[in-house]
């Protein structure tokens, strides 16, 4: 089967105009070419064609952005801005993103490969909600009064309180799978806390970050508060994580790069938040409602073409229901419409890049070679785009690479289990601990199992449900810290204790 091409003529004129713009970094409220003058190509993964070019930045550009962010952080215009005014700016940015949601969704789709319908219904509303949730924080980021009992001072001699101050200049590095959503998860709490930001989008998907920068300028954020520097990880990204002028780095991406970020951060001991990889289990108990569990398990792995850090990539089903569940998921996989993101009927778009397609296909080959059987997919449709058909493996062993490593593509490994202790041990038999789902009607059993799963989020009868109010992050090698919720804002603050001798 050959997949249809992405038809850019169906996009809005404003989207095409933006694609045709000569893109530059957004530093200190200005659009600036990379100091080196270099640019890098932005590729449409549905066709393999270059659709735009952006600045190929390095340490020189990051330096300029950090200097701008530092100046903005120290200026009264941002530091002493009334919390209500900071809230209004965040709301204004959210409103502008909402007003431009169709353009942002088309850019996201063309840049990343995801369907425009999904970008419109999921990525962008969730990003906008995150900005609005965090917009409520500046006026509520209250400290507390403290009650010291210092033994060597008389009663009533001290008054003390703790206050949350912004951590300073934040370097934010995001991946390509949810470009706008994950940038919102970073900039919204950082700005709410009073920080300034240098953001680096992934080299594969820089367009929506630049569009959001344009909207932030329109919203009226002071120059230097939000800076966007595009470029590769080993150049621009490494310059951010090692920069002595950055007080905190917040990173979402692979565990491998997370380790590099951590090493680079030791120079000035900058604070670090890491949201890393996963190999999340979906566990179907014998009593599960299969009308919910089968489509739920399929969407748990195939949503966003499996390029989700919490993708339910390991399916464990009680042996009494295994054949029925796995056949059901394989039927869904076989019936999914693979196509370009701009086609409204598309259910599975291309993977983000040729490299990612080759990586996923190498995992599928390794699964075959190590003796696992393929129930659905296992190949790519013909054409120039970076597609991989949704794939279901059975007859796997726990030591296989496809079972142990994060594939980050539409590839499911399914295995039967006998008893609960066995499946809990298997679910936890991974260095990752980001997400998990349990499918069951037995509420009491669910409550017994959930705390025994070593994962930052456990979903019950659903998978991949995220919200700005719900803390999100990983146990074990899936990361440090949490995004979303109140915890996310606190992560961009330093606690200052004030002690007054009366």
Choose, by CB under 6 A, the member of 66, 128, 183, 260 that binds ligand NAD: 260
176 binds ligand NAD (CB under 6 A): yes
Q: Report, in Å, the least distance between residue 324 CB and ligand NAD.
A: 30
Draw the binding track, 363-402, toward ligand NAD (x: CB under 6 A; -: no contact): ----------------------------------------
**Residue 118: partners with Cβ closer than 8 Å, 6 or more residues away:** 303, 304
Q: Residue 267 carries which DSSP code?
A: T
- Helix or strand (DSSP H, E) at 205: none
- Residue 56 in the binding site for ligand NAD (CB under 6 A): no
173 sits near ligand NAD (criterion: CB under 6 A): yes
Cα–Cα dist 100/14, whole Å: 10
Neighbours of 37 (CB within 10 A): 8
Integer angstrom CA distances of residue 159 from 142, 146, 147, 468, 494: 17, 7, 8, 36, 20
Confirm or reject binding of residue 309 to ligand NAD (CB under 6 A). yes
Q: Of 487 and 494, which has the nearer Cβ to ligand NAD?
A: 487
Q: Which stretch binds ligand NAD (CB under 6 A): 122-130, 274-282, 323-331, 362-370?
A: 274-282
252 interacts with ligand NAD by CB under 6 A: yes
Q: Which pair of structure tokens corresponds to residue 289? A: 């409602």
Which CB atom, from 144 or from 263, has the smaller least distance to ligand NAD?
Answer: 263
- Smaller CB separation from ligand NAD, 132 or 243: 243
Q: Return d(Cα 125, Cα 120) in angstroms, integer.
A: 7
Please answer whether residues 444 and 290 qualify as being in contact, where contact means their C-beta atoms are separated by less than 8 angstroms: no
Closer to ligand NAD at the Cβ: 11 or 252?
252
Per DSSP bridges, beta strands 479-480 and 144-146 are unpaired
Number of residues forming the site for ligand NAD (CB under 6 A)? 30
Three-state SS letters, 114-133: CCHHHHHHHHHHHHHHHHHH
Q: What whole-number distance in Å separates Cα of residue 499 and Cα of residue 328? A: 64
User: Quick one: CA dihedral 497, 191, 67, 230, positive or negative?
Assistant: positive
State the minimum distance, in angstroms, from the CB of residue 134 to ligand NAD. Answer: 17
Q: Provide the CB-side half-sphere exposure for 418 (13 A, CA).
A: 1
373: left (phi over 0), alpha (psi -120 to 50) or beta: beta
Q: Decide whether 189 or 416 has the Cβ nearer to ligand NAD.
A: 189
**Kind of pairing between the strands at 435-439 and 411-417:** unpaired
Among 61, 203, 247, 347, binds ligand NAD (CB under 6 A): 203
Write phi, then psi, for 9 (nearest 5 degrees). Answer: -70, -15
Q: Which CB sits closer to ligand NAD, 241 or 391?
A: 241
Pick the binder of ligand NAD from 200, 279, 305, 482 (CB under 6 A): 200
Q: Which of 69, 257, 282, 458 binds ligand NAD (CB under 6 A)?
A: 257
Using the rule CB under 6 A, is 104 a contact of ligand NAD?
Answer: no
Q: Which stretch binds ligand NAD (CB under 6 A): 53-61, 247-255, 316-324, 389-397?
A: 247-255
Least distance to ligand NAD, CB of residue 479, Å: 6
Q: Is 177 in the site for ligand NAD (CB under 6 A)?
A: yes
Window of 170-178, 285-293, 323-331, 490-498 that interacts with ligand NAD by CB under 6 A? 170-178
Q: Which stretch binds ligand NAD (CB under 6 A): 19-27, 31-39, 253-261, 315-323?
A: 253-261
Q: How many CB atoms lie within 10 A of CB 191?
A: 29
Binding status of residue 436 toward ligand NAD by CB under 6 A: no
Question: Which residue sits closest to ligand NAD, CB atoms considered?
Answer: 233
Show which residues are catalytic. Answer: 275, 309
The angle at the Cα of 409, spanning 240 to 228, to the nearest 5 degrees, equals 25
Residues belonging to the chain: 502
- At 43, phi and psi to the nearest 5? -110, 140
Instruction: Please give the residue ranges that form the binding site for ligand NAD (CB under 6 A).
Output: 173-177, 200, 202-203, 232-234, 237-238, 241, 252-254, 257, 260-261, 275-278, 309, 406, 408, 434, 474, 479
């Amino acid at each position: 089967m050959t997949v249809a091409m992405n038809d850019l003529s169906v996009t809005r004129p404003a989207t095409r105009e933006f694609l045709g713009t000569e893109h530059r970094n957004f530093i200190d409220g200005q659009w600036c070419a990379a100091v080196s003058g270099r640019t890098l190509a932005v590729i449409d993964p549905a066709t393999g064609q270059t659709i735009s070019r952006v600045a190929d930045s390095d340490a020189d550009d990051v330096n300029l952005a950090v200097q701008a962010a530092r100046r903005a952080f120290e200026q009264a215009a941002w530091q002493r801005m009334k919390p209500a005014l900071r809230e209004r700016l965040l709301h204004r940015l959210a409103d502008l993103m909402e007003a431009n949601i169709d353009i942002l969704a088309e850019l996201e789709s063309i840049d990343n490969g995801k369907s425009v319908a999904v970008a419109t219904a999921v990525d962008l509303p969730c990003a906008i909600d995150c900005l609005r949730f965090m917009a409520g924080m500046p006026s509520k980021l209250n400290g507390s009064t403290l009650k010291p009992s210092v033994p060597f001072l008389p009663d009533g001699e001290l008054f003390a309180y703790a206050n949350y101050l912004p951590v300073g200049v934040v370097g934010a590095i995001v991946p390509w799978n949810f470009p706008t959503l994950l940038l919102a998860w970073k900039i919204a709490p950082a700005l709410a806390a009073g920080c300034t930001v240098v953001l680096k989008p992934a080299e594969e998907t820089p367009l929506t970050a630049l569009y959001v920068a344009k909207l932030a300028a329109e919203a009226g954020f002071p120059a230097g508060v939000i800076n966007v520097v595009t470029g590769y990880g080993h150049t621009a990204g490494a310059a951010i994580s090692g920069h002595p002028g950055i007080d905190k780095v917040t990173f979402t991406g692979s565990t491998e790069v997370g380790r590099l970020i951590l090493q680079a951060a030791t120079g000035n001991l900058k604070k670090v938040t890491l949201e890393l990889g996963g190999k999340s289990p979906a566990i179907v108990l014998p009593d599960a409602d299969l009308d919910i569990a089968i489509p739920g398990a399929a969407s748990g792995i195939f949503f966003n073409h499996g390029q989700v850090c919490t993708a339910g990539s390991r399916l464990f089903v009680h042996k009494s229901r295994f054949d029925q569940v796995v056949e059901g998921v394989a039927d869904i996989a076989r019936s999914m419409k693979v196509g370009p993101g701009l086609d409204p009927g598309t259910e599975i778009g291309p993977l983000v890049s040729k490299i990612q397609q080759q990586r996923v296909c190498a995992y599928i080959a390794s699964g075959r070679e190590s003796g696992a059987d393929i129930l659905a997919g296992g190949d790519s449709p013909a054409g120039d785009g970076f597609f991989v058909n949704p794939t279901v493996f059975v007859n796997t062993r726990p030591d296989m690479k496809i079972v142990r490593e994060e594939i980050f593509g539409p590839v499911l490994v399914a295995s039967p289990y006998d008893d609960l202790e066995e499946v809990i041990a298997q679910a936890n038999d991974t260095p990752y601990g980001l997400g998990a789902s349990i499918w069951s009607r037995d509420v009491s059993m669910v409550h017994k199992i959930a705390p025994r799963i070593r994962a930052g989020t456990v979903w019950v009868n659903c998978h991949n449900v995220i919200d700005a109010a719900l803390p999100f992050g990983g146990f074990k090698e899936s990361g440090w810290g949490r995004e979303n919720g109140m915890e996310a804002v606190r992560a961009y603050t330093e606690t200052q204790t004030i002690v007054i001798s009366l």
